């Protein structure tokens, strides 16, 4: 018996691509558990030895990865953020370092460049790195528009024509009230070189400049397109508070963080962004995508990320950006870049299958049986109590008299809720049913909720014949 565990940290970002991986594993006879990251660690001592897919291995996660290994599991890294990043972050103790790498059984990379940097930076670990491509990219390119067609139509009915702005200011507008720079330092866990630390500080500078510029630009955009809605979707790591205060004076600006971003992109007339991974998503779904790159001091020019810029129509002033948007909305112009030959992205049509081939070859069998009755759910009483305490913290007069242990950071609470939002058994079942629709007969896959935010997938009837 073989178990594959897929813990999700930011559910709405990871679920679609990880469902492809789960489906491929189930068809091969694996038992797959999809859950939130918190639930995985809540139950790690209850789970049979298996294989765990992690989304990152930053130095600050060393203790977590050790805990997974000490519990008898193999660990595989599918780096969710390895495509929109800087070369330096892949080379120097930021995305991972030797301490975390030696605990990983295999690395799966988005493309050739990430794979090459890894191999050159950590030559003694070359054999565990694989340029497989990303299941998320496969989903965006071949399935997203079809799977989300009902949601796309519903969004168009509700909002009409709209401009979508996906923000990416997690450093400047961090959910911990401006502590994004410290958060970046925490990821490095005090092991980084002075050069890398300076790089992170400079990155904060450009993020702050762009954040302030975009606040002004979106206001100008809202006035220019006063008959069109502008949907602002804050990055998961950002505070919504600034954006909600900002939107109060502009009737056509809506602040929305709801479910997966994919249907919101597909339903938009045009997407704008600053250095966002969603630029790739929009590009491969054939949605017009524009990046506005404001003027910055020369020492910050190195921070214009390669892939988001290549995926988009790049504009360097507000007037040029507004003109480009007008051409899309009123004249039907296309607006996006060309990433067909981007070395950061592997256009592999079957990354999930290739990843599972590698995991199959490194897999372990276990005689242990999952005891569902032993699993811990999220402590619902604690969750409700935390919610009450947060509400008390929102009343200034009450907060003044609360003991220190009952002080809660409002934005931190919202961030925690946001990370786990979108985890629904019904959504997972819809994804699995969709992926099985081209098989004849359709595979019988059981999708069972075995604990709060923890779902077991297993196949009852092996099928390998596809209609194709």
Average pLDDT, the chain: 89
What distance lies between CA 408 and its chain's CA centroid?
Answer: 26
Q: For residue range 188-227, list pLDDT tens digits in order.
A: 555 567 787 788 888 889 999 999 999 999 999 999 999 9
Cβ contact 36:461 at 8 Å: no
Looking at per-residue pLDDT, the higher value among 165 and 390 belongs to 165
pLDDT at 403 over 90: no
Over residues 59-115, the pLDDT tens digits come to 889 999 999 999 999 999 999 888 998 888 888 778 899 999 999 999 999 999 999
Q: What pLDDT score was predicted for residue 107?
A: 97
Q: What percent of the chain has pLDDT over 70?
A: 91
Q: How many whole angstroms separate alpha carbon 20 and alpha carbon 32? A: 12
- Segment 310-369, tens digit of pLDDT: 999 999 999 999 999 999 999 999 999 999 999 999 999 999 999 999 999 999 999 889
Q: What's the Cα-to-Cα distance from 416 to each of 159, 236, 428, rounded to whole Å?
A: 28, 10, 21
- CA dist 256 and 261 (Å) reads 10
**Four-residue CA torsion sign, 46, 51, 52, 57:** positive
Q: Kindly state the average pLDDT of the residues 161-190.
A: 72
pLDDT, residue 180, reads 46
C-alpha 458/C-alpha 52 separation (Å) is: 16
User: Which band of pLDDT confidence, cut at 50, 70 and 90, is reported for residue 468?
Assistant: very low
pLDDT band at 396 (very low <50, low <70, confident <90, very high): confident
The percentage of residues in the chain with a pLDDT greater than 90, rounded to a whole number, is 68
> Which contacts qualify for 64-69: CB closer than 8 Å, 24 or more apart?
65/100, 65/103, 65/104, 66/103, 67/41, 68/44, 69/103
- 464 pLDDT band, cuts 50/70/90, is very low
* Cα separation, 54 vs 430, whole angstroms: 23
**pLDDT, tens digit (0-9, with 9 covering 90-100), for 420-429:** 888 999 999 9
Domains of the chain from N-terminus onward: 3-137+346-378+421-461 (3.40.50), 148-331 (3.40.50.2000)
pLDDT, position 242? 85
Q: For 182-198, how does the pLDDT look when each residue is reduced to its tens digit (9 = 90+)?
A: 555 455 555 567 787 78
How large is the average pLDDT for residues 142-152? 97
Kindly report which listed range (12-16, 248-252, 377-381, 448-452) carries the lowest average pLDDT score: 377-381
Does position 467 have pLDDT exceeding 50, yes or no?
no
3-state secondary structure the chain: CCEEEEEECCHHHHHHHHHHHHHHHHHCCCEEEEEEHHHHHHCHHHCCCCEEEECCCCHHHHHHHHHHHHCCCEEEEECCCCCCCCHHHHHCCCCCCHHHHCCCCEEECCCHHHHHHHHHHCHHHHHHEECCCCHHHHHHHHCHHHHCHHHHHHHHHHHCCEEEEECCCCCCCECCCCCHHHHHHHHHCCCCCHHHHHHHHHHHHHHHHHHHHHHHHHHHHHHHCCCCEEEEECCCCECCHHHHHHHCCCCCEEECCCCCCHHHHHHCCEEEECCCCHHHHHHHCCCCEEEECCCCCHHHHHHCCHHHHHHCEEECCHHHHHHHHHHHHHHCCCCCCCCCCCCCCCCCCCHHHHHHHHHHHCCCCCCCCCCHHHCCCCCHHHHHHHHHHHHHHCCHHHHCCCCHHHCCCHHHHHHHHHHHCCCCHHHHHHHHHHHCCCECCCCEEEEEEEECCEEEEEEEECCCCECC
Residue 461's pLDDT band, with cuts at 50, 70 and 90, is low
The pLDDT tens digits for 436-446 are 998 888 889 99
The answer on pLDDT for 465 being more than 70 is: no
């Amino acid at each position: 018996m073989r178990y594959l565990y897929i813990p999700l940290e930011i559910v709405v970002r990871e679920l679609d691509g990880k469902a492809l991986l789960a489906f491929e594993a189930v068809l091969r006879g694996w038992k797959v558990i999809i859950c939130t990251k918190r639930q995985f660690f809540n139950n790690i001592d209850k789970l049979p030895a298996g294989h765990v897919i992690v989304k990152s291995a930053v130095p600050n996660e060393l203790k977590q990865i050790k805990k997974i290994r000490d519990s008898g599991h193999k660990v595989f890294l599918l780096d969710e953020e390895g495509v929109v990043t800087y070369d330096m972050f892949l080379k120097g103790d930021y995305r991972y370092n030797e301490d975390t790498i030696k605990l990983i059984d295999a690395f799966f990379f988005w493309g050739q460049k990430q794979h090459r940097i890894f191999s050159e930076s950590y030559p003694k670990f070359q054999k565990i790195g694989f340029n497989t491509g990303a299941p998320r990219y496969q989903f965006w390119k071949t399935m997203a528009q079809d799977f989300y067609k009902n949601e796309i139509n519903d969004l168009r009915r509700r909002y009409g024509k709209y401009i979508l702005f996906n923000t990416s200011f997690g450093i400047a507008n961090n959910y911990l009230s401006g502590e994004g720079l410290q958060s970046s330092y925490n990821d490095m866990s005090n092991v980084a070189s002075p050069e890398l630390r300076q790089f992170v500080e400079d990155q904060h500078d450009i993020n702050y400049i762009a954040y302030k510029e975009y606040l002004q630009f979106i206001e100008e955009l809202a006035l220019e397109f006063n008959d069109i809605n502008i949907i602002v979707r804050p990055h998961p790591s950002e505070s919504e508070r600034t954006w909600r205060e900002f939107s109060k004076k502009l009737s056509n600006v809506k602040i929305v963080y709801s479910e997966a971003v994919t249907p919101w992109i597909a339903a938009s007339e045009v997407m704008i962004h600053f250095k966002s991974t969603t630029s790739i998503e929009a590009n491969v779904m054939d949605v017009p995508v524009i990046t506005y790159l404001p003027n910055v001091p020369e020492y910050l020019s190195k921070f214009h990320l390669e892939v988001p810029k290549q995926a988009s129509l790049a504009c360097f002033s507000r007037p040029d950006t507004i003109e480009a948007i007008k051409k899309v909305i009123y004249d039907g112009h296309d607006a996006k870049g060309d990433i067909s030959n981007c070395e950061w992205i592997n256009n592999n049509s079957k990354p999930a299958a290739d990843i599972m081939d590698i995991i199959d070859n490194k897999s372990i069998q276990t005689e242990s049986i999952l005891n569902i009755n032993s699993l811990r759910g999220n402590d619902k009483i604690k969750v409700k109590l935390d919610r009450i305490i947060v509400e008390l913290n929102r009343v200034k007069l009450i907060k003044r008299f609360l003991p220190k242990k009952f002080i809660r950071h409002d934005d931190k609470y919202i961030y925690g809720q946001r990370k786990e939002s979108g985890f629904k058994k019904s959504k997972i079942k819809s994804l699995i049913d969709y992926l099985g629709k081209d098989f004849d007969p359709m595979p019988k896959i059981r999708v069972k909720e075995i604990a709060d935010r923890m779902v077991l997938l297993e196949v009852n009837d092996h099928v390998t014949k596809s209609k194709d």
